[in-house]
């Protein structure tokens, strides 16, 4: 009742396609850096940009 | 007296008319005497137990982070006897200048902190061979975390042991009141290590993140140690975008950089974007506008910016993104990261509202730029 169990925080990377604005959220990988080029957008076939890196608690 | 019925419930709890039961008398009188004469000592014992638990926790945090630092250093080619070198770092202290006559104290503090900073930077580069700038900055930051935890542990232990040695309850009261805040800070420091090791942006990096994004397509020039600026244009206004040089874990030298830019470019307005500590009850990621130099630290950079802005009569506007101490030094939360675009548009609104076309604006992204390039 008085003890709060700490929830694990998982780091995520959000890549955005500059053309279709589609956002892809995936788990953070070592070497990920903000504004760097990410994976290729499936629809536009151009590299996405890393827009955000953040942590989210897992319930 | 009839001793055969003293254990009857009526007699024992005084529900009957006779209240002369000796057992009842002992049950009530003894604790009263005990608490009158030994109350403070009992309270001291209870409080001591709680503080002791916190001290053990602080020690655990210190040892864990120290081990994490050593493990991290093992990845690089290490010079020999690394553990004793790290332990020596932990014991370094800074003697602040005399403040009986505070006139001219700021340059002294600045000089002292700069000396310490450059010494630590040089020592860190000597720890391992071929250490990159990014790696060295990460190690320097983790070292600062371990040093802070070591200091917290030693301070709390000192106050606790002094109070116990003197058997002085009033001395332990301020410590008891401060312990939750100290522990909150210690937990935040401990949580910061994983983000620092992985090179992930921390909550404090929201200012550099916003300004870094604004300067992506412009040419970056170095200004001061680990600090860059870029020139850009927005609706007829010239923007001088300034931040620490990412993605290294550094805050740069915004004070020096603003001073240089003001002298050279004569801006009309300074806008500072920074993470700000939220009050309890406030929502994380709330954007607040204000006036004055939004920059933390010991105060040397703020002093420098205030001085130069006052000298040239330049208004200073502040945009802060509210967050807790833990959020500020650990991996950036989604709530804060999601606000980056909104902050950027609010910076542009502030520029439009406070300047006319043809004027110049300095925009400073304040904070640790770990994982945030430009």
Q: What is the pLDDT of residues B269-280, one digit of tens each?
A: 999 999 999 999
Percent of chain A with pLDDT over 70: 93
Q: Are B324 and B284 in contact (CB under 8 A)?
A: yes
| C-beta atoms of A53 and B340 within 8 A | no
Residue B275: list chain A partners with CB under 8 A: none
pLDDT band at B13 (very low <50, low <70, confident <90, very high): low
Residue B80 or residue B184, greater confidence: B184
Which of B1-10, B12-21, B69-78 is the most confident on average?
Answer: B69-78
pLDDT band at B27 (very low <50, low <70, confident <90, very high): confident
| C-beta atoms of B333 and A35 within 8 A | no
How far from B7 is each of B21, B28, B138, B285, B329, CA to CA, in Å?
9, 16, 72, 65, 63
Residue B126 or residue B359, greater confidence: B359
The enclosing H or E element of A9 equals strand A9-16
Mean pLDDT throughout B244-266?
Answer: 95
The Cα–Cα gap between B139 and B127 comes to: 10
**B272-284 burial, b if ≥16 CB within 10 A, otherwise e?**
bbbbbebeeeeeb
> CA-nearest residue of chain B to A8?
B191
DSSP string, B296-344: -SSSHHHHHHHHHHHHTT--EEEEEEEE-HHHHHSBPBHHHHTTHHHHH
Sign of CA dihedral B277, B280, B281, B284: positive
Q: What per-residue confidence (pLDDT) applies to B23?
A: 81
| C-beta atoms of A55 and B371 within 8 A | no
Q: Which of B191, B196, B228, B337 to mutate to test the interface with A (most CBs of A within 10 A)?
A: B337
Mean residue pLDDT across chain B: 91
Q: The tokens of A57 are what?
A: 């608690």
| C-beta atoms of A9 and B331 within 8 A | yes
At B366, give phi and psi (nearest 5°). -95, 135
The answer, yes or no, to whether residue B17 has pLDDT greater than 60, is no
Mean pLDDT throughout B309-328?
Answer: 96
Residue B213: list chain A partners with CB under 8 A: 35
The Cα–Cα gap between B171 and A25 comes to: 52
The answer, yes or no, to whether residue B118 has pLDDT greater than 50, is yes
Lowest mean pLDDT among B10-24, B96-110, B256-270, B325-339: B10-24
The candidate with the shortest Cα–Cα distance to B52, out of B64, B41, B42, B44, is: B44
Residue B367 or residue B124, greater confidence: B367
SS3 content of chain B, % helix, strand, coil (to 5): 60, 15, 30
The separation between the first and the last C-alpha atoms of chain A, rounded to the nearest angstrom, is 17
Min Cα distance B239 → chain A (Å) is 20
- Which of B213, B330, B332 lies at the smallest CB-CB distance from A53? B332
Percent of chain B with pLDDT over 90: 74
Q: Are A34 and A50 in contact (CB under 8 A)?
A: yes
Q: What per-residue confidence (pLDDT) applies to A14?
A: 94
Q: What per-residue confidence (pLDDT) applies to B10?
A: 66
The answer, yes or no, to whether residue B240 has pLDDT greater than 50, is yes
Three-state secondary-structure class, residue B294:
coil
Residues facing residue B230 across a β-bridge? B220, B241
Q: What per-residue confidence (pLDDT) applies to B78?
A: 67
Q: What per-residue confidence (pLDDT) applies to B169?
A: 79
Residue B8 or residue B325, greater confidence: B325
Residue B374: list chain A partners with CB under 8 A: 35
pLDDT digits (tens, 9 = 90+) for B332-353: 999 999 999 999 999 999 999 9
At B127, give phi and psi (nearest 5°). -65, -40
Cis amide bond preceding B247, omega within 30: yes
pLDDT band at B1 (very low <50, low <70, confident <90, very high): low
Contacting residues for B124 by C-beta, under 8 A, at least 6 apart: B131, B136, B139, B140, B143
The answer, yes or no, to whether residue A1 has pLDDT greater than 50, is no
Q: Give residues 28 to 57 of B whose Cβ lies within 8 Å of A.
A: none
pLDDT digits (tens, 9 = 90+) for B199-228: 999 999 999 999 999 999 999 999 989 999
The Cα–Cα gap between A20 and A40 comes to: 12
pLDDT band at B150 (very low <50, low <70, confident <90, very high): very high
The answer, yes or no, to whether residue A59 has pLDDT greater than 80, is no
Q: What per-residue confidence (pLDDT) applies to B16?
A: 57
Mean pLDDT throughout B128-140?
Answer: 88
Residue B98 or residue B12, greater confidence: B98
Residue B62 or residue B164, greater confidence: B62
The candidate with the shortest Cα–Cα distance to A53, out of B364, B372, B351, is: B372
Residue A28: list chain B partners with CB under 8 A: 198, 200
The Cα–Cα gap between A52 and A50 comes to: 6
Residue B249: list chain A partners with CB under 8 A: none
Q: What per-residue confidence (pLDDT) applies to B162?
A: 92
The candidate with the shortest Cα–Cα distance to A51, out of A13, A19, A20, is: A13
Q: The tokens of B135 are what?
A: 């790696």
pTM comes to 0.88
Residue B64 or residue A30, greater confidence: B64
Mean pLDDT throughout B146-150?
Answer: 95
């Amino acid at each position: 009742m008085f003890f709060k169990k700490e929830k694990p925080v998982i780091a995520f990377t959000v890549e955005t396609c500059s053309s279709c604005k589609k956002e892809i959220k995936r788990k953070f990988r070592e070497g990920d850096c903000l504004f760097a080029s990410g994976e290729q957008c499936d629809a536009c076939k151009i590299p996405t940009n890393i827009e955000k890196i953040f942590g989210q608690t897992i319930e | 007296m009839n001793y055969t019925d003293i254990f009857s419930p009526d007699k024992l709890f005084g529900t009957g008319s006779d209240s002369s039961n000796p057992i009842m008398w002992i049950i009530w009188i003894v604790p009263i005497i005990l608490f009158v004469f030994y109350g403070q000592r009992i309270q001291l014992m209870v409080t001591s137990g709680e503080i002791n638990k916190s001290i053990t926790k602080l020690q655990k945090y210190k040892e864990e982070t120290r081990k994490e630092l050593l493990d991290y250093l093992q990845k690089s080619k290490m010079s020999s006897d690394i553990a004793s070198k790290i332990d020596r770092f932990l014991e370094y202290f800074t003697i602040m200048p005399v403040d009986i006559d505070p006139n001219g104290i700021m340059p002294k503090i600045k000089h002292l902190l700069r000396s310490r900073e450059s010494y630590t930077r040089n020592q860190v580069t000597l720890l391992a061979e071929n250490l990159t700038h990014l790696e060295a900055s990460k190690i320097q930051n983790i070292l600062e975390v371990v040093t802070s935890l070591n200091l917290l542990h030693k301070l709390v232990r000192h106050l606790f042991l002094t109070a116990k040695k003197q058997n002085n309850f009033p001395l332990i009261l301020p410590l008891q009141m401060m312990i939750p805040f100290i522990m909150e800070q210690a937990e935040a420091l401990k949580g910061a290590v994983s983000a620092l090791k992985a090179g992930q942006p921390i909550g404090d990096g929201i200012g550099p993140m916003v300004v870094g994004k604004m300067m992506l397509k412009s040419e970056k020039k170095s200004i001061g140690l680990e600090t860059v600026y870029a020139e850009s244009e927005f609706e007829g206004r010239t923007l001088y975008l300034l931040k620490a040089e990412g993605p290294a874990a550094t805050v740069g030298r915004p004070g020096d950089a603003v001073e240089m830019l003001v002298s050279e470019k004569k801006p009309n307005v300074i806008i500072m974007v920074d993470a700000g500590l939220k009050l309890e009850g406030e929502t994380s990621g709330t954007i607040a506008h204000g006036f004055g130099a939004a920059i933390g630290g010991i105060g040397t950079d703020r002093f420098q910016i205030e001085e130069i802005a006052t000298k040239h009569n330049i208004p200073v506007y502040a945009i802060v993104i509210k967050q807790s101490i833990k959020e500020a030094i650990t991996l950036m939360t989604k709530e804060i990261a999601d606000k980056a675009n909104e902050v950027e548009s609010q910076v542009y609104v502030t520029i439009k509202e406070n300047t006319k076309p043809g004027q110049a604006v300095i925009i400073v992204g304040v904070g640790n730029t770990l994982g945030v390039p430009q």
